[in-house]
């Protein structure tokens, strides 16, 4: 009988080779050349680039700024061995998470504060819904720590027991920690006790129901007409909660409204947003929130979120094109606070060109 050799395939290495081939392919598809070290004979990137050059020649696509950023992100991920599915994290997704200021330091992006794409969740891969644009200082301050460790360090910095990480202020340390918590599954009780010191930036989808409700309630105050939106949201509270639950809800709304009014943010959207974030540094706001959330319980929070989504959909039945301006006050809450994580699409075939 013929002896058969056992072939030990490494799926991780095979996936790395495939992603490298696709990376080289997409560079050539857009008329770009990868870094010289990646074009050596036998490298997956070089193989993909040469294969695409043979197919497309000079019939290439114009590389936009976002496409260049997308390819640079993929190159960095490939070099570090971090998984990134270009069929899910597309250049269009990068456009969805773009913002003009770092959500941690609040400084405008540019120069030394050029934005970097940060992975905020516990998933080691780049995943839609768990990415945000941060300045280099904020990204470096994470120091590889998870949400729980960052929250502890923020609390210690606020109490004067330790220095804030990476040269951040205590308030910035809180915003960094809360960002990580938004993308990290937490037990219900723990998630309720996290103050919402930063609102979800574009494209970040909170994974914890309690924090989604926090964001939903808070964002009602982001523009004029909030009293009517609060009234509609209060009408969705479960009737079995009785007057006590409604009372807790209005106490929270009143505490948030008072802080926004005190901040005198006017009509500047950024100033209002920052005032809402800073309101969560107030102990009274957190006490009101915890009374409401624990009164609802985990099941009640989920049901209230479901009813809010249903109400928003009923009030805005028309199809909305992503990126278009929305009429203020039409939905119960801004869509960003209501976004849910959708199942990933099937990965594209190796070597397929993408626009």
pLDDT of 107-124, one tens digit each?
A: 999 999 999 999 998 888
Query: Phi, psi (5° rounding) for residue 110?
Result: 140, 150
pTM of the complete model: 0.82
Instruction: Give the number of other CB atoms < 10 A from CB of residue 44.
Output: 20
Q: What is the pLDDT of residues 276-303, one digit of tens each?
A: 999 999 999 999 999 999 999 999 999 9
Q: Can you tell me which residue has the tokens 């992975």?
A: 119
Q: Which one of 23-32, 239-248, 337-346 scores highest in mean pLDDT?
A: 23-32
Nearest alpha carbon to residue 30 among 83, 74, 77: 74
The confidence score (pLDDT) of residue 326 equals 38
How far is 351 from 45, CA to CA, in rounded Å? 11
How far is 70 from 92, CA to CA, in rounded Å? 9
Which own/partner pairs from 207-212 qualify as long-range (CB within 8 Å, at least 24 positions apart)? 207/121, 207/129, 207/130, 207/182, 207/183, 207/341, 208/181, 208/182, 208/184, 209/298, 209/301, 209/302, 209/305, 210/293, 210/298, 210/301, 211/181, 211/182, 212/305, 212/337, 212/338
Mean pLDDT of 19-28: 96
The confidence score (pLDDT) of residue 279 equals 96
Grade residue 343 by pLDDT with cuts at 50, 70 and 90.
very low
Residue 331 has pLDDT above 90, yes or no: no
How far is 242 from 297, CA to CA, in rounded Å? 14
């Amino acid at each position: 009988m013929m002896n058969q050799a056992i072939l030990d395939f490494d799926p991780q290495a095979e996936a790395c080779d495939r992603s490298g081939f696709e990376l080289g392919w997409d560079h050539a598809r857009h008329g770009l050349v990868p870094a010289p070290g990646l074009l050596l004979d036998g490298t997956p990137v070089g193989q993909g680039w040469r294969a695409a050059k043979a197919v497309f020649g000079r019939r290439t696509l114009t590389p936009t700024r976002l496409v260049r950023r997308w390819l640079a992100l993929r190159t960095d991920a490939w070099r570090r061995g971090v998984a990134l599915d270009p069929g899910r994290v597309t250049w269009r997704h990068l456009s969805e998470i773009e913002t003009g200021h770092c959500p941690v330091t609040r400084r405008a992006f540019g120069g030394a504060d050029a934005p970097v794409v940060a992975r905020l969740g516990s998933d080691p891969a780049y995943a839609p819904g768990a990415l945000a644009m941060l300045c280099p200082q904020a990204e470096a301050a994470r120091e590889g720590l998870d949400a729980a460790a960052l929250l502890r360090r923020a609390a210690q910095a606020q109490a004067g027991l330790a220095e804030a990480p990476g040269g951040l202020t205590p308030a910035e340390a809180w915003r960094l920690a809360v960002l990580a918590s938004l993308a990290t599954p937490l037990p219900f009780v723990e998630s309720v006790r996290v103050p919402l010191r930063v609102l979800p930036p574009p494209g970040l989808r909170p994974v914890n129901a309690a924090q989604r409700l926090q964001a939903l309630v808070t964002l009602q105050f982001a523009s004029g007409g909030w009293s009517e939106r609060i009234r509609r949201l209060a009408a969705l509270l479960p009737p079995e909660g009785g007057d006590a639950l409604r009372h807790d809800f209005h106490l929270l709304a009143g505490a948030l409204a008072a802080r926004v009014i005190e901040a005198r943010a006017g009509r500047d959207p950024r100033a209002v947003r920052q005032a809402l974030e800073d309101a969560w540094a107030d102990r009274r706001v957190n006490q009101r929130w915890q009374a409401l959330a624990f009164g609802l319980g985990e099941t009640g929070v989920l049901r209230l979120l479901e009813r809010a989504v249903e109400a928003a959909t009923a009030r805005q039945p028309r199809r909305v094109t992503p990126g278009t301006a929305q009429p203020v006050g039409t939905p119960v809450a801004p869509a960003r606070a209501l976004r849910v994580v959708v199942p990933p699409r099937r990965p594209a075939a190796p070597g397929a060109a993408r626009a």
